[in-house]
Structure 1
Amino acid sequence: MKKRILPILAVLSISLTLLAGCTKKVDSEDAISSYIKAYIYSEETDTLQKAFAEKEMDLAKEDKENFTTSLKEQFKLGADYDKKLDDLYQVYQTNLKKNTKFSTKILHEKSDKATVEVTVSGLKELNLDNLEEEISQKIAANPDLIKEDLSEEDAQKVINQLAFDIYSEKIKANTETKEPIKLSISLKENPDDKNAWVIQNENDIFKELSDAFGV
C-alpha cells in the first residue's frame, strides 16, 4: 500500500510546485485600488498583501492613533479629551469615505512594470487662516473663559481648547470637494518577489495622494 501512495504524493507535490510557479501578479489597477483603500481609507484588504507582499497590519488602528496623537500634541490636550478625539476621528472618516472618490485606469502594463492613472475627487483643505480671530471672537463672546486671576499657563490651556473646538467644527463641516486631480503611478516588479509590485517613488506618490484626497 505504501508503495502505491508514495508515487501519488510525488505527483501531488510536483503539481503544487507547478501551480505555485504559475501564480500571477495582481492586476496593476486592482493593486493601486487596494493601496488607496488601505492607506487613504484605512480599509483592510487581502489584495494589498498579495499585490505588494505587505505584512498584515491593523491600518485602521494605526491611522486612528496617528490622527489622535497628532491633534493631542498640536493642541496640547490631556486624557480628558480622548473621547472627543475618538468621536472626531469617526466624523473625519465618515466624511472622507462619503465625500471623496477615485477611479483608476491602466495606461500601460507589462509583466514587470505598469503605469496606472488615478483620478481623485478629494476634500477641500481646511481654512485655518482666521483661527486667531475666531478664538478672539469666542473669548469676546464669553469673557469668563479667561479671568484676570487665571495664570498664563491656564489661559494658554483655554486658548488651545478653543482652537481645538474650532478645528473640530471645521472638520465636521468639511464635506466640500475640489476639482478632480489626475495622478500617474508607476509600478515595477518587486525584486524580492516576482509575484508582487512595488510603487516607484512611493513616498512622493503617497504625499501626492494624501494632498489630492485632502487628508
Structure 2
Amino acid sequence: MSPAKQGQSRQRWVWIVASVAVVAAVAAGAVFALRDGDSDDAAGGTTYRQQTDECVLVSAAVLTRYVPGATCKRTPSMTINPDEITQTPSWTSDSLTHPTSIQAVLRLVSKSPSAYSRAKASLVDVYQQQLTGAVTADVATAELGPLAQEAFVVSGASKSIPGRSDGRIVVRAGNAVVDIVVTDWTSAAGAEAAAKAVAADFISNLR
C-alpha cells in the first residue's frame, strides 16, 4: 500500500474509533435517562411506537444534501421495559479522506421530560470534553417543525480529528427523545445546521 493510501486508512481508522466512542457515550446516556427518570408522564404530543424501519427516518433528499453516498446501518433495539425502547440507526459515507456520518438515538419513553433533561445534562458534558470551543444553545422549536416540543444543540471543532466538526441536537417530541450527531468537514456552523435539518426530517418521519 502506498504511503498516501496508508495515511488515508489511518485517518479513516481514527475517525471510526472516535465515532464509535461518541455513539457509545450517547447510547449510555440513553440508558441512564430511561432507568433513572422521575415520575412525570410524557407531556402531550404524539405517541410513537417502535419504528419498524429506522432507515427511512432520514429521507433520501436530506442524505444526499448532508451525507452523500451514505448507507444505513440498523442496530438491535434495546428494551428497558415495554414503554422504554431505544433504537440507534446510523448513516455513514465511504469517503477515505472526509468521511461524514449521521448517528441517531431514538428513545421512546413514558417519561420524556425526564429523559430529555437527563440526556441534555449528561451528553452535553461529553461533547464539551470532545469539542474545541463547544457551543450549547436552546433551539426554537419552530426551526424543527410543529412536532418538536423542546430542543437544544451542541456544536464545535473536534479535538482529536483536525478539520472535522460535530453538531449534536437533542429534541423532545411527544414520547420520543431524539439525539442526532452529524459530522461535517466545513465548519461547526455547518455541522450545527446539518444536525438541525436532519433532526427536523427525522421527527417528521416518525410513526
Q: Which has the higher strand share?
A: 2
TM-score normalised per structure 2: 0.26
Larger radius of gyration: 1
Using CA pairs under 8 Å that are at least 6 residues apart, name the structure with larger relative contact order, 1 or 2: 1
Q: Which has the higher helix share?
A: 1
